Amino acid sequence: MAQSSPYDLLRKYYGYHTFRDQQEEIIDHVLSGQDSVVLMPTGAGKSLCFQIPALALDGLTLVISPLIALMNDQVAALRAKGIKARAVHSGLSLPEIDRVLDNATFGDTRLLYISPERLKSKVFLTRMSRMPVKLLAVDEAHCISMWGYDFRPSYLDISLIREVFDKIPLIALTATATRVVLEDISAKLNLKAPRIFRSSFLRPNLSFSVREVEDKKGSLLRWVEHVKGPVIAYVRNRKSTKDLAAFLGQHGHSATYYHAGLSREERIRREQQYLKGSVQIMVATNAFGMGIDKSDVRLVVHLSLPDSLEAYYQEAGRAGRDGKRAYAVILYQKRDLTHLQKQIDQSFPPMPEIRRVYQALGNYFKLAVGSGRDQIFPFDLNQFCQEYRFETLPVYHVLKILESSGWIVLTEAVYTPSRLQIVVDKEVLYDYQLRNASLDPTIRGILRIYEGVLHHRVIFRENKLATFLNLSLKQLFGQLEKLKKDGIIHYDRGDEKPKLVWLRERVPAENLIIDQELFEFRKAQKTGNLDSLRNYLETGSCRQQFIGHYFDDNTMNFCGVCDRCIRDARASTQQAGKDQVSRQILRHLERGNLSVSDILTHFPEENKDQILITIQNLLDEERIFKQDEIISINP
């Protein structure tokens, strides 16, 4: 039973007084207990469609999401509003996961975010049936469909939850899905007579443009100088982010760069610089943008082609969320398409290579055949490749094949903070301080900064303590290791490496089976994605209408603001001008035959060239004829 009206909750927690577009209708449908599929473009407010019902219903909403970074961002935003939200992912220790699940089971959580890979874990399954779940929300739901651009086989396990909670509504949400994907989502989630809500893909304030250019950097400079305001420039690799940001800085523009290889602290610092307006331009790989709440981005430029129209529309849609004029631009060269095709070919390695990498992975994690199921390991791809003398990119593609076939999951980097506890009593600690004078300032610093450190493990920030003690991090790490070795502290040093989840027991490499039909299907799909992207680049018609048709939104008219629509409008204006000049010339000739010089006297001198061209066109069309330098209307 609903406790508060959706409008009350909207005002109380979000500060808005009205819903946007279909939000209210979707929320009412969810609260009536019925299933739904929501297709809503990036920035249109999908999350509100399940967060408001979660607050209105008396119980727990389980949110299944594939991206740890997005989960953490949404949880942080909800908690800042005073909403009890938590997430379970591979960045948490087992005691922390137990605590989060206990809170969810005993009613101290309104929204619990969980990755699909967790749905089959014993820890979760034993608690799930006791949780007061009132709503299931599946975010990025296109991942459940092989036709979706980011297929995740673990999403198929959502049916396990549906069997337990078959009487509660399920809402599936995605920003980019074709009609085929939407139908597949409904089937794979076993939805009951779901209503499909589709928002229009038209962004009337967002001007899409494509430029084939020789000098991408120079072209980017011209766009940045033309469009005032925050900019995101997307490139494909980490080195390019740094190089391009430096280039922009050399030309007087404030820019920073962002990629997944930066430390968590550095990523946060650069995000905040950009969000607060300290820098104008963010140069980034596609690791940047998901969950970033900045509505006033005026320009999104892709200097590297995305893998698909779905990915492009999501990234380009980060511009102009405030409803004001903004621009989404692709700068490309023909060889970029060739490079993408080569990447597709490399993305589907031969079976012997897949088995070789799988064998090395098992050895790397020291897993015996028959072991490893549901185990989670920190994973450094570069270190793995160095140890086994692999090239990084081919190995990455093998990992994605193993992931799509359900053998492993490779998560993005997750920050796991350091934790520290003093594990001796005060008397022993005091005696130790007397005998180890060099460590006394460090111990006193820990006691002063971290309240409760004598009684339980606390989240511990090395940078904070090093600054307080005026030590280098290297010096502090040495002291902490000494304290740990002497049994004075328990110290788990944090990390933020990606995690590799081993979903099944290890098998001998020769017994590794890949779904060959899925393998070929995905390869053909990637090729189809490239064809659609190429058609978008080369289309002669409205770009937003092209995108709408791609996503089966056939209600869209010409947007009027893309480069194609602007070109056609200019051509129409020019043609109208030519027609007007033709009519004027014919009216003069109706009064009597004239020479070319006579005709020119009726028009301004600066229009001479246009008049001569128009006279020639009328002659070619045989609407007039010329004899002995005299022009007459053709009878």
Write out pLDDT tens, residues 580-618: 888 888 888 888 888 888 888 888 887 787 788 888 888
**Location of structure tokens 């790397």:** 364
Rounded distance between C-alpha atoms, residue 349 and residue 352, angstroms: 8
pLDDT bin (cut points 50, 70, 90) of residue 166 is confident
Q: What is the pLDDT of residue 305?
A: 95
Q: Which class is domain 418-492? A: mainly alpha
Q: Which residues contact residue 541 at a Cβ distance below 8 angstroms, ignoring those fewer than 6 apart?
A: 564
Q: Which class is domain 563-633? A: mainly alpha
- Its pTM stands at 0.74
Q: Over range 4-15, report the average pLDDT.
A: 90
Q: What is the pLDDT of residue 610?
A: 79
Look at residues 339, 383, 606, 587 and name the one whose alpha carbon lies nearest to residue 498: 383
Is the model's pLDDT at 1 over the cut of 60? no
pLDDT bin (cut points 50, 70, 90) of residue 412 is low
Is the model's pLDDT at 9 over the cut of 70? yes
pLDDT bin (cut points 50, 70, 90) of residue 2 is very low
Average pLDDT, the chain: 88
Q: What is the pLDDT of residue 413?
A: 60
Structure tokens at 293: 């709440």
Buried b (16+ CB within 10 A) or exposed e, 185-214: bbebbebeebebbbbbbbbebbbbbbeebe
Mean pLDDT lowest among 184-188, 308-312, 627-631 = 627-631
Taking a C-beta distance cutoff of 8 angstroms, is the pair 331, 303 a contact? yes
pLDDT bin (cut points 50, 70, 90) of residue 498 is confident
Mind giving me the DSSP string for 512-530?
----HHHHHHHHHHHHHHH
Rounded distance between C-alpha atoms, residue 437 and residue 522, angstroms: 64
Q: What is the pLDDT of residue 3?
A: 63
Is the model's pLDDT at 109 over the cut of 60? yes
Q: Over range 129-156, report the average pLDDT.
A: 85
CATH 3.40.50.300, the chain: domain bounds? 6-198, 206-332+527-550
Q: Label the pairing between strands 206-212 and 60-64.
A: unpaired
In this structure, which CATH number among 3.40.50.300, 3.40.50.12280, 3.90.1170.50, 3.40.710.10 belongs to the domain 206-332+527-550? 3.40.50.300
CATH 1.10.10.10, the chain: domain bounds? 341-414+497-514, 563-633
Q: What is the pLDDT of residue 35?
A: 95
Write out pLDDT tens, residues 414-430: 566 788 999 999 999 99
Taking a C-beta distance cutoff of 8 angstroms, is the pair 4, 55 a contact? yes
With a pLDDT cut of 70, the percent of the chain lying above it is 97
Distance of CA 559 to the CA centre of its chain: 25
Q: Label the pairing between strands 458-460 and 489-492.
A: unpaired
Q: What is the pLDDT of residue 172?
A: 94
Q: What is the pLDDT of residue 221?
A: 95
Taking a C-beta distance cutoff of 8 angstroms, is the pair 595, 606 a contact? no
Q: Over range 181-206, report the average pLDDT.
A: 89
Write out pLDDT tens, residues 239-262: 999 999 999 999 999 999 999 888
Q: What is the pLDDT of residue 251?
A: 95
Write out pLDDT tens, residues 13-69: 988 889 988 999 999 999 999 999 999 877 678 899 999 999 999 899 999 988 777
Write out pLDDT tens, residues 276-302: 999 999 999 988 877 677 889 999 999
Is the model's pLDDT at 190 over the cut of 80? yes
Rounded distance between C-alpha atoms, residue 627 and residue 310, angstroms: 62
Is the model's pLDDT at 393 over the cut of 80? yes
More confident position, 438 or 289: 438
pLDDT bin (cut points 50, 70, 90) of residue 124 is confident
Q: What is the pLDDT of residue 414?
A: 58
In this structure, which CATH number among 3.40.50.2300, 3.40.1190.20, 1.10.10.10, 3.40.50.300 belongs to the domain 341-414+497-514? 1.10.10.10
Collapse the DSSP code of 594 into the 3-class scheme (helix H, G, I; strand E, B; otherwise coil) and give the result. strand
Look at residues 563, 516, 514, 582 and name the one whose alpha carbon lies nearest to residue 357: 514
**What is 6-198's CATH topology?**
Rossmann fold (3.40.50)
